[in-house]
């Protein structure tokens, strides 16, 4: 699996999983929210709902991988059985890329952006 394919498959699910902390930042950047409200919203989202966002990201990752396999012509169970090793290896690569992308995007990019906007201390 090429790096470009992995990035295409994993990028949107990473953003979806990071929306618990990214959405308050976006609201502040668009001028639709105050910094105090955004801080409260991010505390609520990350404190109580972070697993829902992570589950939504994982579901989006699975759907993106299924869509990728369908575009490559693996549509039936017989084709999936023949390509089992390639599917499992691709799934592992996509999962690892998704986890690393999530950790980097949420805890480095969004964290520094939130500190720059003074949402978090």
C-beta separation of 38 from 27 below 8 A: yes
The residue whose two tokens read 């990752």 is 61
Residue-level pLDDT at 88: 95
C-beta separation of 8 from 89 below 8 A: no
Over residues 67-90, the pLDDT tens digits come to 999 999 988 889 888 999 999 999
Could you tell me what percent of the chain has a pLDDT over 90?
A: 83
CA distance 19 to 7: 18
C-beta separation of 92 from 1 below 8 A: no
1 pLDDT higher than 80 = no
Mean pLDDT for the stretch of residues 56-62: 96
C-beta separation of 107 from 22 below 8 A: no
Mean per-residue pLDDT over the chain, rounded: 93
Mean pLDDT for the stretch of residues 31-46: 92
Residue-level pLDDT at 120: 84
Over residues 91-108, the pLDDT tens digits come to 999 999 999 999 999 999
CA atoms within 13 A on the CB side of 44: 8
Domain-wise residue ranges, the chain: 3-116
Q: How many CB atoms lie within 10 A of CB 66?
A: 11
CA distance 116 to 121: 9
């Amino acid at each position: 699996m090429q790096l470009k394919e992995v990035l295409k498959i994993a990028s949107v699910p990473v953003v979806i999983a990071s929306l618990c902390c990214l959405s308050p930042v976006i609201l502040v950047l668009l001028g639709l929210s105050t910094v105090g409200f955004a801080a409260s919203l991010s505390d609520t989202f990350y404190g109580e709902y972070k697993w829902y966002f992570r589950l939504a990201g994982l579901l989006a990752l699975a759907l993106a991988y299924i869509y990728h396999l369908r575009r490559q012509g693996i549509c039936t169970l017989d084709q999936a059985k023949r390509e089992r090793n390639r599917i499992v290896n691709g799934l592992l690569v996509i999962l690892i890329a998704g986890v690393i992308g999530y950790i980097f995007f949420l805890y480095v990019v969004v964290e520094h952006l939130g500190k720059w906007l003074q949402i978090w201390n």
